[in-house]
Amino acid sequence: MNILHISAECFPIAKVGGLADVVGALPNYQKELGTNSNVVIPFFNNRFNQEHTFEVIFTGNLQLGETSYGFRILKLLNSTLGFDLFCVDITELLYTEYVYSNDDTERFLAFQIATLDWLLTLKEKPDILHTHDHHTGLIPFMISQSFRYKTLKEIPTVLTIHNAQYQGWFSHEKTFLIPSFDKKNIGLLDWDGSINPLACAIKCAWSVTTVSPSYMEELKLNANGLEALLSHESDKCVGIINGIDWNVWDPERDPKLIKNFSKTTVVSGKKANKKWLCEKFNLDKNKPLFCFIGRLVGEKGADLFFDIFKKSLKENTISILLLGSGHKETEQQLATLNSHADYNSFIGYDETLAHIIYAGADFLLMPSRVEPCGLNQMYALRYGTTPIVNSIGGLKDTVIDIEDGGYGICHDGVSIDKVTAAISKAALFYTDKKRFQKNSRSILSIDYSWSHSAKEYVQLYKSLKL
Ligand code: ADP
């Protein structure tokens, strides 16, 4: 079975968040189950693309409204990714140093049209088109409605919602950009007065998945305006928890770590990584190290970090290290904490540092208000780091509280007091060295790799091909 994943991001080529990790790992795990899963993403101006060689396998011209753009489909040569990587090169629109910007309607519409124009020319078509998030959400509509793509109509489509907050809305004035279709079906594009690519994909895809079962349920109550639609379409919706790539995230072999470790050497291994972090960031290595990695946005609870950290540092003997970037106000507010001896941060994106933090931290903070799946808690577990999470979405599905016989620290809801209380509970847990280290050792073996969830996707594909 030929599966084509169509996405804006794919690790290690272009990564902004968890979407990249999923698209960079899932195809390989699916391949182990016998599918031929490959990926198509835009061709960005980034380091990976500059350092690798691509073969041009197709050239064409696409029509975006009145404007015509030349495009090329590039295939990565000597791919070590495990799957074939195809890139859509539309230099004027997509060859940028960033993945997302504020003219994404045109950029990603052109990406989707070019992808479909290319597929039209293939003798052997994919058996399933697996689209990810709103950037590729018009594909299920175009292949079922646009006259141009009627030969692709029978290909089943799957939409995975990685984050329903972002829906790619644009005005009806731009309808002319979409390859012509029967206007009596224009309602499929619309949700609440605008063209809504995510809503449209929920309506038109053959099957819709979200990245955890709990998130699927939560979306029926809170989906940034799409609650009723998701409830209405619930028969074709399913929550499948994301996995992590055990080849990339392996404490025994991860080349980014200061010191590798296994289940038997976890204590000394984590100690070496923590020492490096504490020296680099001027923190006391004898205090428990609490870390956060991620986007500094409201969804992650970042607007409360300043108050949470201040209170927690006052009430406990701990260190805090933050890696991330996002809202400028939050960044500025947090910068004022830098003078505190037990707090430090790196504002920016650093993949290597993230790996060392997962390995060297004692606790990973995830006070997210919305967390469709969350990968960080799974990376933390894999590296023997105890997660502290708000029990929602994927966090609820993957982290069990120590008081319930589990291995993490969970709180219900996000407030300064609730998160601070969870941090205090963790600080106390840390003082019971024997129990804390036993926890580190055991969580390292919890299997949240893709092997389980990849099977669920393959079963889903098979059910659509019947
Ligand atoms: P998101 O909502 O951002 O997609 P996820 O938990 O699904 O959240 O995935 C986040 C991914 O991005 C993880 O691989 C995490 O390590 C990585 N990440 C986020 N921010 C940073 C950063 N500033 N530096 C390095 N890696 C980061």
Q: Does the CB atom of residue 146 touch ligand 1 within 6 A?
A: no
| 271 and 186 within one domain | no
Number of domains observed in the structure of the chain: 2
pLDDT value at residue 72: 98
Residue 107 placed within a domain: yes
Residue 249 placed within a domain: no
Q: How far is the CA of 149 from the centre of ligand 1 (A)?
A: 36
Q: Does the CB atom of residue 374 touch ligand 1 within 6 A?
A: yes
Q: Summarize pLDDT for 402-446 with one digit per residue, the tens.
A: 999 999 999 999 999 999 999 999 999 999 999 999 999 999 999
Closest alpha carbon to 196 in 248, 243, 138: 138
Q: How far is the CA of 295 from the centre of ligand 1 (A)?
A: 7
Range 255-277 average pLDDT: 98
Residue 139 placed within a domain: yes
Residue 251 placed within a domain: no
| 332 and 320 within one domain | yes
- The residue count of the chain comes to 466
d(CA 425, CA 443): 18
297 contacts: CB under 8 Å, gap ≥ 6: 326, 327, 330
pLDDT value at residue 50: 97
Residue 123 placed within a domain: yes
Residue 254 placed within a domain: no
Alpha-carbon dihedral 410, 413, 417, 423, rounded to 10 degrees? 20
Which atom of ligand 1 is the closest one to the Cα of 325?
23
| 65 and 9 within one domain | yes
Q: Report, in this order, helix, strand and coil percent for the chain, each rounded to 5.
A: 45, 20, 35
Residue 261 has pLDDT above 90, yes or no: yes
Assign 200 to helix, strand or coil. helix
The pTM for the full model equals 0.93
Which atom of ligand 1 is the closest one to the Cα of 163?
2
Q: Summarize pLDDT for 345-360 with one digit per residue, the tens.
A: 999 999 999 999 999 9
CATH number, residue 382? 3.40.50.2000
Check if the beta carbon of residue 35 is closer than 8 Å to that of residue 3.
yes
Q: Does the CB atom of residue 324 touch ligand 1 within 6 A?
A: yes
φ, ψ dihedrals at 238, nearest 5°: -150, 145
Check if the beta carbon of residue 130 is closer than 8 Å to that of residue 1.
no
Q: Summarize pLDDT for 198-225 with one digit per residue, the tens.
A: 999 999 999 999 999 999 999 999 999 9
Residue 16 has pLDDT above 80, yes or no: yes
Please report, for residues 36, 91, 224, 310, 397, the alpha-carbon distance to residue 5 in angstroms, rounded to integers and kept in the order given. 11, 22, 25, 44, 25
- Which residues sit opposite 419 in a β-bridge? none
- Which residues sit opposite 159 in a β-bridge? 131, 208
Residue 419 placed within a domain: yes
Q: Which of 21, 244, 448 to mutate to test the pocket of ligand 1 (most atoms within 8 A of CB)?
A: 21
d(CA 250, CA 429): 26
d(CA 78, CA 80): 6
d(CA 355, CA 113): 37
φ, ψ dihedrals at 205, nearest 5°: -70, 150
Check if the beta carbon of residue 457 is closer than 8 Å to that of residue 30.
yes
Range 87-109 average pLDDT: 97
Q: Does the CB atom of residue 16 touch ligand 1 within 6 A?
A: no
Both tokens of 371, joined, read 């967390």
d(CA 231, CA 224): 13
Q: Summarize pLDDT for 132-174 with one digit per residue, the tens.
A: 999 999 999 999 999 999 999 999 999 999 999 999 999 999 9
| 283 and 153 within one domain | no
Residue 70 placed within a domain: yes
Give burial (CB, 10 Å; 0-12/13-18/19+) of 283: buried
Range 75-90 average pLDDT: 97
**Amino acid, single-letter form, for residue 209:** T
| 291 and 419 within one domain | yes
d(CA 140, CA 146): 10
Q: How far is the CA of 224 from the centre of ligand 1 (A)?
A: 22
Assign 400 to helix, strand or coil. coil
pLDDT value at residue 465: 86
| 149 and 57 within one domain | yes
Check if the beta carbon of residue 128 is closer than 8 Å to that of residue 1.
yes
Return the percentage of the chain with pLDDT > 70, whole number.
100
φ, ψ dihedrals at 317, nearest 5°: -100, 90
| 132 and 9 within one domain | yes
| 297 and 208 within one domain | no
Q: Summarize pLDDT for 305-358 with one digit per residue, the tens.
A: 999 999 999 999 999 999 999 999 999 999 999 999 999 999 999 999 999 999
d(CA 169, CA 193): 10
Q: Supply the DSSP symbol for 285.
A: T
**Smallest CA separation from ligand 1 atom 14, residue:** 18
Place of tokens 């990968």: 375
Q: How far is the CA of 465 from the centre of ligand 1 (A)?
A: 34
pLDDT value at residue 81: 97
| 120 and 167 within one domain | yes
pLDDT value at residue 408: 98
Q: How many CB atoms lie within 10 A of CB 65?
A: 13
| 181 and 234 within one domain | yes
| 384 and 314 within one domain | yes
Distance between first and last Cα of the chain: 12
Q: Which of 7, 11, 295 to mutate to test the pocket of ligand 1 (most atoms within 8 A of CB)?
A: 295
Domain that holds residue 14: 2-243+451-465
Which atom of ligand 1 is the closest one to the Cα of 294?
20
| 103 and 158 within one domain | yes
Both tokens of 119, joined, read 């597929």
